[in-house]
Amino acid sequence: MSPGMEKRPHLDIQLCAPRGFCAGVDRAIQIVELALQKYGAPVYVRHAIVHNKYVVEGLKAKGAIFVEELDEIPDTEAPVVFSAHGVPKSVPADAKSRNMFFLDATCPLVSKVHVEAQRHFDAGHEIVLIGHAGHPEVIGTMGQLPPGAVTLIETVADANTFTPKNPETLAFVTQTTLSVDDTREIVVALRARFPSINSPHKEDICYATTNRQEAIKAVAPYVDAMIVVGSPHSSNSQRLVEVALRSGCRVATLVDRASEIDWSVYGNITSLGVSAGASAPESLVEEVIDAFAARYQVTVQTRTTAEEHIAFNIPKVLRDLATASGRD
């Protein structure tokens, strides 16, 4: 029997749903694509529009130019798009001072956190931000307010050693892409020390982050291994791997795409869970499944834990194009 005809081992793939693109990511990508369609190339984008190099490379091929800071952009009438993660207030102020035409692709759920932080600041509250240092969303949220107005808390240990100026005027907000369980532990620690701390009116961790983590929890304990499609720079994707391991899955890895799969990790498995971070396109999930199908006799079942029907409006200046293309 030739090597290609050898009997492949059976593999049961459990496909987590929801997975992949969220409404905020979808909106951000649409803004860049529609701006290219309406104004032509180039369209400048400050920071990776979403944390996925496959998406970024695709937009580059269409004429998008990615920069880290506005000072890298020459004087131009071309549109400048701010990424889905949000930006400090200094960025649009700088853009206005240079008469730039800018489009803000900040996820509306991140903008909600910005509004909350401003509201607490205006009320005289001392603000704690639960999040990861250096993440663009954290930089953007802290940059809504004057330096020193927001204290970053990353861990329960931070929560237990933090000393506020006045425990009675304390409030917290959170990054939208955190581990739900980790954040809950930090909030419990803060509330134990500061019972009067002001909470968000509504959960700051976004629906997509929560739903993808819950889908992982429903699959991870029952499979031999899990693979999450997503970028190593993607906070929500990293959290999915952590949730899988905590939920009892022995092996869980993060890959950008199928070519990065470490096959030595996936030895004698008979079941596999597959998910994707909020900035990973479905085409990359299909690519991963195809890679396993080349080595195993696969059956694929979808495990659905929630339905998502959320869509966010795009800026008015692009809405006519979106309507015409049926994307609004």
SS (H, E, C) 114-168: HHHHHHHHHCCCEEEEECCCCCHHHHHHHCCCCCCCEEEECCHHHHHHCCCCCHH
DSSP for 59-104 reads HHHHTEEEESSGGGSPS-SS-EEE-TT---THHHHHHHHTT--EEE
DSSP for 232-295 reads TT-HHHHHHHHHHHHTT-SEEEEESSGGG--TTTS-S-SEEEEEE-TT--HHHHHHHHHHHHTT
Which of 33, 116, 126, 137 is the catalytic position?
137
- Rounded (5°) CA angle 290-64-23: 60
The three-class DSSP label of residue 54 is helix
Q: Are strands 297-304 and 10-17 parallel, antiparallel or unpaired?
A: parallel
Residues 6+ apart with CB under 8 A from 167: 193, 194, 196, 197
- Structure token digits, residue 159: 């929560």
- Structure token digits, residue 174: 């959170």
- Structure token digits, residue 328: 């609004």
Is 57 among the catalytic positions? no
Give me the active site residues, please: 137
